């Protein structure tokens, strides 16, 4: 089987007539910066929310004298909010536009952060977490969708990968803020700081252009044309507008939720959902969440040393390795990154499993071989995830669906991603209890191997193809089911 498969997917590689890309190859600097600002701030919200809780938990526990179950709810209900928010975000992004959806996300996030910071009791704190999570979910759908629609085809991977970069920066910043504000009452400030990203996102959205693709879909071709001109298509705005209209004509008049599950879109649906689940069942959040414990086992004895190791070895490495994806996703393509990353993730997870197996369940010999293997393997795992499944999942999910159902299909895939994240982080300890650390890491490694085979045969290359071209490939009668 050829490794250079294309989005046409069919054995003949026939994708029908070639459609021009509606977005100019080079955006004016200010426009590109505004799209990137929106995507970076939306990702930062996501990441900050993900990272902040590890440092805030201790303060919350002291302030309200609560037990483990309440803390678990405070931790995880943000994910629940995000799951529902991503479904709602798809609807808002399709009906009211990408910009309004992003503005609503920022508003929800600011209100959620304020409620969290001022919460007089745990139920109100949980309510704040749900609201902020809802905002994160809406942004998680609307921002990459917006970036994918506004990006020139040849740079789309890079644009959407900036979203992943921002998630990792958000996690890293949250770790730093947590360290800086550690102490009694600091948790309120930790939550309050997250409102800043919400305010900045709202401001960035106000100056951003609405997606021409969405404007055409909503019957506003004149506005779409104006925005195409602003995006640098002064000379050929009509041709580009025609390209968008042609793609839309090939679609249904109105799309409903059930259209997402139509047989003809089954291939992209399977790819999107498969990547969404694979990204989580290979253990990223279990490791991000429990890295303190693992570093403790690898020889970092004090809590301060563990937090510092998590901040730099996980947080900073995650940010830096994402640049590998940004550099190569449009040059090498999505498939090579996924394949290389899954191999690195699988091998490093297997190594962590062996380290735990050798030490009989816990790595006790601080500076010894097993501790070092665990530390190195963890860093290799984070690097491998950061240049592959992290950014490529969000990129592919946002480029494979036809415009007609794009918002909703992305929402379904995002909600499935959050559900898988919720399940993995919620059941990680239970699974460790049942089968032990070694087998738990080997289970994650086994999912990497399965994922590798599936990606090899089932995920097509989408690099350098316009969204319309990718969409046309699924519509072909020969499209794989
Ligand atoms: C995932 C998150 C994860 C993050 C880590 C994202 O792509 O969706 O669940 O925490 O990457 O960098």
Which of 91-100, 154-163, 224-233, 276-285 reaches the highest mean pLDDT?
276-285
Answer yes or no: is pLDDT of 8 > 50: no
**Average pLDDT score over the chain:** 83
- Average confidence (pLDDT) over 32-59: 86
CA of 17 to the centre of ligand 1 (A): 37
pLDDT per position as a tens digit, 327-346: 999 999 999 999 999 999 99
- The domain ranges of the chain are 4-475
The third-level CATH classification (topology) of the domain covering 4-475 is Growth Hormone; Chain: A; (1.20.1250)
pLDDT per position as a tens digit, 463-475: 877 777 878 777 6
As a whole number of angstroms, the distance between CA 57 and CA 59 comes to: 5
Q: 6: which strand partners?
A: 461
CA of 90 to the centre of ligand 1 (A): 19
Answer yes or no: is pLDDT of 217 > 70: yes
Q: Which residue has the tokens 């998630």?
A: 167
Token pair in block for residue 223: 């506005």
CA of 48 to the centre of ligand 1 (A): 11
Q: Ligand 1 atom 7: the closest Cα is on which residue?
A: 390
Answer yes or no: is pLDDT of 458 > 70: yes
**Ligand 1 residue neighbourhood (C-beta within 6 Å):** 50, 164, 167-168, 171, 279, 284-285, 288, 318, 390, 417, 421
Q: Which residues contact 302 (CB under 8 A, 6 or more apart)?
A: none
Q: Ligand 1 atom 11: the closest Cα is on which residue?
A: 390
As a whole number of angstroms, the distance between CA 322 and CA 195 comes to: 25
Nearest ligand 1 atom to alpha carbon 417: 8
HSE-CB at 306 with a 13 A cutoff on CA atoms is: 18
Taking each helix axis from N to C end, the angle separating 406-458 and 284-297, rounded to the nearest 10 degrees, works out to 60
As a whole number of angstroms, the distance between CA 13 and CA 17 comes to: 12
As a whole number of angstroms, the distance between CA 392 and CA 365 comes to: 37
Residue 315 dihedral angles phi and psi, to the nearest 5°: -60, -55
Q: In a mutational test of the pocket of ligand 1, which residue from 167, 172, 444 has the highest number of ligand atoms less than 8 Å from its CB?
A: 167
Q: Ligand 1 atom 6: the closest Cα is on which residue?
A: 390
pLDDT per position as a tens digit, 363-392: 444 456 666 788 899 999 999 999 999 999
- Angle (nearest 5°) at CA 280 between 72 and 349: 100
CA of 171 to the centre of ligand 1 (A): 9
3-class secondary structure, 6: strand
Q: Ligand 1 atom 12: the closest Cα is on which residue?
A: 168
């Amino acid at each position: 089987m050829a490794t250079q498969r294309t989005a046409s997917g069919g054995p003949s590689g026939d994708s029908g007539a070639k459609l021009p890309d509606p977005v100019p190859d080079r955006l004016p600097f200010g426009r590109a910066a505004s799209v990137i600002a929106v995507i970076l701030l939306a990702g930062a919200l996501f990441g900050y929310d993900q990272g902040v809780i590890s440092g805030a938990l201790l303060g919350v526990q002291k302030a309200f004298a609560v037990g483990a179950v309440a803390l678990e709810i405070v931790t995880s209900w943000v994910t629940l909010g995000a799951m529902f928010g991503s479904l709602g975000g798809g609807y808002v992004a399709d009906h009211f536009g990408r910009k309004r959806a992003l503005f609503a996300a920022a508003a929800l996030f600011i209100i959620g952060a304020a409620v969290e910071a001022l919460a007089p009791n745990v139920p109100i704190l949980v309510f704040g977490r749900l609201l902020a999570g809802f905002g994160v979910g809406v942004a998680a759908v609307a921002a990459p969708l917006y970036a994918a629609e506004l990006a020139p085809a040849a740079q789309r991977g890079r644009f959407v990968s900036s979203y992943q970069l921002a998630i990792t920066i958000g996690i890293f910043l949250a770790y730093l803020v947590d360290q800086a504000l550690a102490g009694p009452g600091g948790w309120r400030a930790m939550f309050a700081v997250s409102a800043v990203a919400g305010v900045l996102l709202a401001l960035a959205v106000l100056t951003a252009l609405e997606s021409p693709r969405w404007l055409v879909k909503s019957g506003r071709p004149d506005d779409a044309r104006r925005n195409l001109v602003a995006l640098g298509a002064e000379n050929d705005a009509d041709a580009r507008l025609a390209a968008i209209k042609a793609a839309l004509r090939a679609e249904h008049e109105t799309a409903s939720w059930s259209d997402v599950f139509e047989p003809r879109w089954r291939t992209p649906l399977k790819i999107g959902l498969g990547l969404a689940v694979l990204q989580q069942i290979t253990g990223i959040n279990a490791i991000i969440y429990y890295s303190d414990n693992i570093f403790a086992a690898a020889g970092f004895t004090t809590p301060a040393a563990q937090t510092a190791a998590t901040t730099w070895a996980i947080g900073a490495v995650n940010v830096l390795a994402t640049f590998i994806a940004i550099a190569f996703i449009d040059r090498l393509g999505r498939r090579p990154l996924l394949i290389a990353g899954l191999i690195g993730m699988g091998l490093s997870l297997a190594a962590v499993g062996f380290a735990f197996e050798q030490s009989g369940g816990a790595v006790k010999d601080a500076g010894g071989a097993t501790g070092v293997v665990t530390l190195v393997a963890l860093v290799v795992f984070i690097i491998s995830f950061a240049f592959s499944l992290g950014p490529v999942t969000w990129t592919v999910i946002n480029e494979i669906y036809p415009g007609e159902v794009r918002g909703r299909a992305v929402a379904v895939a995002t909600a499935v991603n959050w559900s898988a994240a919720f399940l993995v982080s919620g059941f990680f300890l239970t699974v460790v209890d049942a089968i032990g650390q070694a087998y738990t890491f080997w289970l994650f490694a086994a999912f990497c191997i399965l994922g590798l085979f599936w990606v090899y045969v089932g995920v097509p290359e989408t690099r350098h193809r316009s969204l319309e071209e990718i969409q046309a490939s699924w519509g072909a009668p020969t499209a794989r089911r």
